[in-house]
Amino acid sequence: MDTTPDHPDRTPLGRLGRLAFRRRRTVLAAWLVAVVVATLAAANLGGDFAVGYDTPGSESQAATQTIEREFGGRTAAEVEVVWHDGAGAVTPRSTAAIDRLLADASRLEGVAPGLTAKDAEVSADGTTAVVRLPLTRGEDHVPEETGTALVALGERAERDGVETIVAGSIAGMTEEAAMSAELVGFAVAAVVLLLTFGSAVAAGLPLLVALVGVGVALGLGGLLAALIDTPDWAVQMALMLGIGVGIDYALIIITRYRAAAAAGRDPESATVEAMSTAGRSVLVAGGTVVVSLLGLFLMGLPYLYGVALASSLAVLVVLAASLTLLPALLGFAGRRIERLRVPGVRPARTDPDTVPGARWARRIQRRPVVSTVLALALLALLAAPATTLRFGFPDAGNEASGTAPRQAYDRLTAGFGPGQNGPLVAVAATPGGPADSAALDRLAAEVRTDRDVASVSAPQPNPAGTAALLQIVPRSSPQDARTSDLVERLRDGPLRSTGLQVALGGRTAATVDQGAATASRLPLFVGGVVLISFVLLIAAFRAPVVALKAGAMNLLSIAAAFGVVGLVAQGGWAGQLIGIDTSLPVPPFIPVIMFAALFGLSMDYEVFLMSAIRERFARHGDARAAVVEGVARTARVITAAAAIMVAVFAAFALSPEVFLKLMGVGLATAVLVDATVVRVVLVPAVMQLLGERAWWAPRWLRGAATRPSAPVAAD
């Protein structure tokens, strides 16, 4: 039985495709208007991309909130002013230059006033000093003009003869990418499409669909930022996913359209058939990606909500463009889709039995056990470095050599020790006046006796005398495990027994809190995403064994990706390929986001391949032959789709942001592994071992079964 619907135009997607084809001018105009409206709305109504990374209910968040409330709007965010003078950091020449810098800085928007060179911490040898300028708002909310002005003030102090470094994470002070990662990925995708289709017209349609869809999604993302806290890097994440899946989904549908047209269908009938078959698979795949991304809400971390919504919105919009705009564009192209042929690119073979994919699948089927063992061994080898992953947030010590943050980090380490780069801040409520002040002095004295504490500042009371700060400098660096142990030891020991209400904050304390929160919510998140995806696959294939196999293989691909991220994060030869030259911790949110995105994206290829296998099995009932034919019919399009996705993701290794580098490499690795080792080796081998048992279903599920559709035609 042929699983292509007997009456494609009677299916919902078939009717949608016919409507878009016939009303193509209206559909195209509607999408162009949507781009303009979304862009204008974002420009006039959009919010700022800013977010706090505090963990809800954590002690570090309590410390941050107390500082903001009790210290006149001051936040925990700071900009470091570091200077060095071999003749002495507190000589009249040095202090005059720094006082001038600090006075001018205090007049900038977002910078707290009142500090002078006398407030500096000076190294033991007297040659290095640092003043930390408190900000009156979060780093994401400080104007870029302030960051640019601070850099200029540091350069002026240099001209005055004082070696000065001004370092921070606000806009205007951070490195910008030399080349747009999105443009690089888009250019590579264009080349892959030209080689796949052999026609400039056919290759241009997926690019146009992705551009329009992403254009609308970016505008809506700006509006989203006005409603919910959204980090600025959520834009890059949405672009990464939107471009990748937008091109891939259009590629799948166009491949089926061209096959139908080659079989003699007129353009409208070919569009309806492509939408009722490939369109259905695209809808299932896109829905799985969205569900996986929305699973980020299960983590309970507010800054991930904006990422989940922005990324899901991008996928939904490009999915809608693939199902409406693309049929309209096919109506304009018609049979002209094969025009502007690329010289030297031969059309795909029409007989799937003669393509390399068919020969490869038969070779795997002859040795299914050996193939399975070898594939699993390779995946285990790739996943092994995942055991070296350290969770935390990279700091200035992980920046590229020569950048201002790295120079400040190295100078502070040389002058004070590594702990000066990540001081802890204890915030105490002191409503009892002198009695509480005495208790705070005793606390400071006790903390100084800890073996891992380098220094403790004198208590710094607020003007009202209701709260005070203690700055605690560890002996070890912010990323050192000893610093994390110190945080736990101080919280469980002297801070708890002092009799005061004390909260310990600072960057390292916040990292400890977020790591604990992530670990506690991770089982719920992973279980929720896997369970919902399993249900979606059962709904698509009515085959529990296939759904279980898909989930297991997706987990293998993700494990391999985590392993490669672990290898790159070590900072050796692999890390140096993308500009990571030091061992660095991986932010806890990266594996979470990678899992959400990859579990959905891996399902794309599973749906495309298994739909083709199911179609052939339903036609003739030969499970072995169905695998060969399914692999043969999808090999070319899955290879092209994966190459595009890998190019788009890998291009983000060009980003100056370390976490975007890691996510790009991880996502690219998972897609590459999934489209090669898993789909080309493991799936044919396991399906051969399972035979007809792969399609077993309980009676109630068989009774509810509907005819599955194949996403692509023969190569």
Residue 422 lies in a domain: no
Q: Is residue 479 assigned to a domain?
A: no
Residue 548 lies in a domain: yes
**Mean pLDDT computed over every residue of the chain:** 85
Give the tens place of pLDDT for each residue, 209-268.
999 999 999 999 989 988 888 888 888 888 888 988 899 899 889 988 988 888 889 999
Would you say residue 708 has pLDDT above 60?
A: no
* pLDDT higher than 90, residue 595: no
DSSP 8-state code for residue 341: B
Please check whether residue 219 is in contact with residue 317, taking contact to mean a CB–CB distance below 8 angstroms.
Answer: no
* Element of type H or E holding 150: helix 144-159
Using only C-alpha atoms, the chain has a radius of gyration, in whole angstroms, of 29
Quick one: 33 and 90 in the same domain?
A: no
Residues 192 and 124 both lie in one domain: no
- Do both 691 and 576 map to the same domain? yes
Give the count of domains, the chain.
2
Q: Do 149 and 247 belong together in one domain?
A: no
Q: Of the ranges 27-41, 80-94, 353-367, 508-522, which is most confident?
A: 27-41
Whether 205 and 164 share a structural domain: no
Residues 6+ apart with CB under 8 A from 485: 452
Does one domain contain both 241 and 325?
Answer: yes
Spatial separation of the C-alpha atoms in residues 538 and 541, rounded to whole Å = 5
What confidence score (pLDDT) does residue 709 get?
A: 42
Tell me what the mean pLDDT of segment 364-377 comes to. 91
pLDDT digits (tens, 9 = 90+) for 17-70: 999 999 999 999 999 999 999 999 988 888 777 777 788 888 998 998 888 888
φ, ψ dihedrals at 44, nearest 5°: -100, -30
Beta bridge partners of 84: 128, 163
The pLDDT value recorded for residue 270 is: 93
**pLDDT of amino acid 703:** 55
Q: What is the CATH number of the domain that holds 109?
A: 3.30.70
Residue 268 domain flag: yes
Nearest to 546 by CA among 374, 439, 687, 705: 687
Range of the domain at 588: 8-45+178-392+513-703
Residue 160 and residue 293 in one domain: no
Same domain? For 252 and 359 the reply is yes
Strand residue runs (E) in 475-527: 501-505
Same domain, 688 and 578: yes
Which range has the worst mean pLDDT, 80-84, 255-259, 303-307, 621-625? 621-625
Place of tokens 């083709």: 612
pLDDT band (50, 70, 90) for residue 180: low
123 vs 343, higher pLDDT? 123
Q: What percent of the chain has a predicted confidence (pLDDT) above 70?
A: 93
Q: Is 311 exposed, middle or buried (0-12, 13-18, 19+ CB in 10 A)?
A: buried
Average pLDDT rounded to a whole number, residues 456-468: 87
Q: Are residues 129 and 241 in the same domain?
A: no
Q: Could you tell me which residue, 584 or 347, shows the higher pLDDT?
A: 584
Mean pLDDT of 524-539: 81
Examine residue 714 and state whether it is found in any structural domain, yes or no: no
* CB 24, CB 331: distance < 8 Å: yes
Chosen domain end from 115, 135, 168: 168
pLDDT, position 178: 47
Q: Is the pLDDT of residue 7 over 60?
A: no
pLDDT at position 402, please? 78
- Kindly list the distances between the CA atom of residue 285 and the CA atoms of 9, 373, 455, 619, in Å, as whole numbers in the listed order: 21, 28, 56, 23
Using the 3D structure, point to which of 142, 168, 194 is the last residue of a domain. Answer: 168
Q: Answer yes or no: is 696 within a domain.
A: yes
Q: Indicate if 563 and 629 belong to the same structural domain.
A: yes
Spatial CA neighbour of 374 closest among 626, 684, 693? 684
Domain boundary among 168, 188, 220: 168
Q: 240 and 120 in one domain?
A: no
677 in a structural domain: yes
Quote the tokens at residue 384: 């092994």
What's phi and psi for 434, nearest 5 deg? Answer: -55, -35
Under 8 Å between Cβ of 462 and 468: yes
Question: Apex CA 140: angle with CA 136 and CA 142, to 5°?
Answer: 45
Q: Give pLDDT tens digits for 645-694.
A: 888 888 888 777 788 888 889 889 988 998 888 888 898 899 889 888 88
- CA-to-CA dists, residue 107 to 113, 166, 469, angstroms: 7, 16, 24
pLDDT tops 80 at residue 631: yes
Structural contact between residues 6 and 300, judged by C-beta atoms closer than 8 angstroms = no
Confidence class for position 593, pLDDT limits 50, 70, 90: confident
The pLDDT tens digits for 374-408 are 999 999 999 999 988 888 778 777 777 778 888 88
Round to whole Å and give the CA distance between 300 and 313.
19
Task: Decide if 455 is inside a domain.
Answer: no
Q: What mean pLDDT comes out for the span 337-355?
A: 69
The Cα 37–Cα 50 span in angstroms is 23
Higher per-residue pLDDT: 176 or 213:
213
112 vs 607: which has the higher pLDDT: 112
d(CA 515, CA 422): 17
Whether residue 213 contacts residue 320, with contact meaning beta carbons closer than 8 Å, is answered with yes
Which pair of structure tokens corresponds to residue 398? 């992980």
Is pTM, for the whole model, over 0.75? yes
Whole-number pLDDT of residue 347: 60
Q: Three-class SS of residue 1?
A: coil
What's the pLDDT score for residue 713? 42
